[in-house]
Amino acid sequence: MKRREFLGYSALGALLLSTAGTMGYALSRQHPHGAPPASLAALPKGGQPLQPLPRIVNLSESAGRFRSVLTPGPHSVPLSDELEARLWLYNGKVAPLIEVREGDELDVTLINELEQETTLHWHGVPVPQAHDGAPWDAVAPGESRQYRYAFPSGSAGLHWFHPHPHEGTAWQVAHGLAGALLVRPAEEGLPAEVEEHLLVISDLRLRANGEVAPHTAEDWMNGREGELLLVNGQREPRLDVAPGTTLRLRLINACAGRYLRLRLDEHELILIGTDGGLIERPQPLEELLLTPGERADLLVRVSERAEGHFQLASHPYERGWMGDRPPHLDEVAPLLAIHTLDSDVRAPVSLPERLGRVEPLGEPTVQRRVELTEVMPGHEDHAVGDSDPHAGHGDPHAGHGDPHAGHGGGSASHHGTHGPGHGADHAMDEAAERPEVDFLINGRAFAMDEILFEGKVGEVEEWEVFNNSHMDHPFHVHGTHFQVIATRDAEGEWQEAPWLAWKDTINLAPYQRLKLRMVFREPGDWLFHCHIIEHEELGMMATIRVS
């Protein structure tokens, strides 16, 4: 396909135009002189109808094959007549969608239009290792790489894709690079009356001139949280439905560090699926914690009351913040406004007795221990080791000091100020140097040429993962899904999981332990890491070699 023909698919459409109010609102809050420019103050502040995700066009004319091109590159998104946001996007689209079906073949060529190397990681998808988009398979600026694989039976679910270059992931994610990958089952199991919506939740922090703001020391310590919270590239969109409508809300937390503690006013949330697809039976929830990298499949039967107004929002969640505390951490963050129309009430929907199948993996042949720690020089209470989690931790912020003080470049490579190619964007010139802190797995910071574990294809492995730190960490494994078998809180005993699900990302609270069982079906070097992007980049990542 000729380049000029393909770029025609990259034009910014109604979705991006509808984000102008959102981005303008965030910029106005950060204007250094208090009062925003008049052009920003006049922009709308949310309430627009929810837009579907913009699609990546399938260029194949063959049934069962999805072929296209992804071009990560800089794009200016209009905020007003005078101002543009300068983002990095796939094909010029905010949170684009690739949709396929089980049995289909995907054939995507990445053409890198950035000024730094990048990769395309297919998060949650059972791909051969050569197509995983790991950092050692980076694509240089101006170069291309083909990703090609098929979706086997059982791979249906909501997955996503994002960059994964060595020491450059945080800056690329901060610019907006992410997309959704929806794999439909060969046969749909839910009734057709269920109204489905895909929701990609992301955040941004922009300067008043539209540039992406550089990382702060708090960003590196905690994981970056942008003040501008978006749903499908919109701020606080609105969804109008008939009373009694059964909604299927399929969510991706595509934020670098933000936790989403989700509640819907006056409604119960029904969990029907997780990272790896449908679970066996619906699980009613009052709220859902969705951590970075996780996905959730929810059913909600909307109130039968006409002209009702209900807010899906993220509520405050304490995850062990270090340093200056931004005000938004203690505020309720609206995501989606659901309005019921003055119309007839829709009847309840009957679900099948069994939604999906999650067969237990059985007894393990291999057992491993994974320990997540943080180490700051001069503070022994955060040194590596199976220490008493209650000793010296009365104050969850004690012992960390001022994250701005005394943190030079450090000697380890992951303490560098910039990742690959960062000098090309002058916004990084004012970035805070990365704090001299290591986020470690089994006492080691990630190195490209080191292997922590070795395993065999087809063996059932059980990993006991211990979060030996004062902060929450979402733990992600490449190349497979796992089942949570048991949990143990800091002061408790082991508790068996009440039901099974396929997961690839799971949160660990401070001093919590989880038993995870998994099987690697493909050989190769597979990463596992904290999915707070900045923690991953500061060392909390390791590799298992499967043969």
* CA dist., res. 165 & res. 139, Å (int): 9
195-340 has the same fold as 3-184 = yes
**For position 167, what pLDDT does the model report?**
94
Superfamily of structural domain 195-340: Cupredoxins -  blue copper proteins (2.60.40.420)
CA angle 282, 200, 58 (to 5 degrees): 105
CA–CA distances in Å: residue 403 to residues 79, 220, 313, 432: 34, 9, 30, 10
Cβ-contact 316, 332 below 8 angstroms: yes
Strand (E) or helix (H) holding 507? strand 505-508
Strand (E) or helix (H) holding 6? helix 3-7
Cβ-contact 163, 176 below 8 angstroms: no
In the sheet with 121-123, reading across from the earlier edge strand, the strands are 97-101, 179-184, 157-162, 121-123
Q: Alpha helix (H) ranges present in 149-243?
A: 169-174, 217-222
How high is the mean pLDDT in each 10-residue block of the chain (547 residues)?
34 35 40 34 66 97 96 88 88 96 97 98 95 97 97 95 97 97 94 97 92 95 94 95 98 98 97 97 97 98 97 97 92 97 96 92 97 80 41 32 31 40 46 81 97 98 97 98 96 94 98 98 97 97 98
Burial class (CB in 10 A: 0-12, 13-18, 19+), 258: buried
Strand (E) or helix (H) holding 17? helix 14-18
Q: Which of 463, 547, 396, 439 is nearest to 170 (CA)?
A: 439
Full-model pTM: 0.86
Q: Which of 314, 289, 322, 330 is nearest to 222 (CA)?
A: 322
| 224 CA to centre of own chain | 12
Domain ranges in the chain are: 3-184, 195-340, 366-546
**For position 430, what pLDDT does the model report?**
55
Plot region of 239 (φ>0 → left; ψ -120 to 50 → alpha; else → beta)? beta
Strand (E) or helix (H) holding 471? none
**For position 45, what pLDDT does the model report?**
61
* CA dist., res. 69 & res. 139, Å (int): 14
Superfamily of structural domain 3-184: Cupredoxins -  blue copper proteins (2.60.40.420)
**For position 435, what pLDDT does the model report?**
81
**For position 479, what pLDDT does the model report?**
96
Q: Find out if CATH 2.60.40.420 is the number for domain 366-546.
A: yes
Cβ-contact 461, 455 below 8 angstroms: yes
Question: Using only C-alpha atoms, what is the Rg of the chain?
Answer: 23
Strand ranges for 224-381 from DSSP E: 228-231, 238-241, 246-253, 260-264, 269-274, 277-285, 288-290, 295-301, 309-315, 333-340, 366-375
Tokens of 506: 């799971």
